[in-house]
Amino acid sequence: MKPSESLYWIRASLGIGIGALNALYDYFAGVFSSAEYSLNDFLRGLSFALLFFIITYYVLKLRYVTQFEKKSKLITTGIGIYFLLWIVVWVLFHSIIKAYV
């Protein structure tokens, strides 16, 4: 597998994991006890996803820095799938948990 493909799939799986963690955090933080889901809850989840993306960028940079010609390619590879899967999994798990709570 090419380095760009493995980086893509690592970021995809991280997006799934962070989306699930955000939904679990919402459950344990008591977000489901209120009647509405506020903008602050979304911004907290988004900032958590961004923070985790930045942290994993530096961790993955140690492994893939020599395998990419441009350093910008290292940050852009898989960024779309990361955030797409993060929001989809977060909403899906949020809906499942909300249905059973």
What is the per-residue pLDDT across 14-40, written as a single tens digit (0 to 9) for each?
999 999 999 999 888 877 776 677 788
Q: How many residues does the chain have?
A: 101
Whole-angstrom distance, CA of residue 101 vs CA of residue 97 = 6
Closest C-alpha to 84, from 8, 28, 25, 5: 8
Whole-angstrom distance, CA of residue 88 vs CA of residue 85 = 5
At 49, the amino acid letter reads A
Give this prediction's pTM.
0.89
Q: pLDDT, tens digit, for every residue of 69-85?
A: 888 888 999 999 999 99
SS3 of 36, please?
Answer: coil
Whole-angstrom distance, CA of residue 82 vs CA of residue 87 = 9
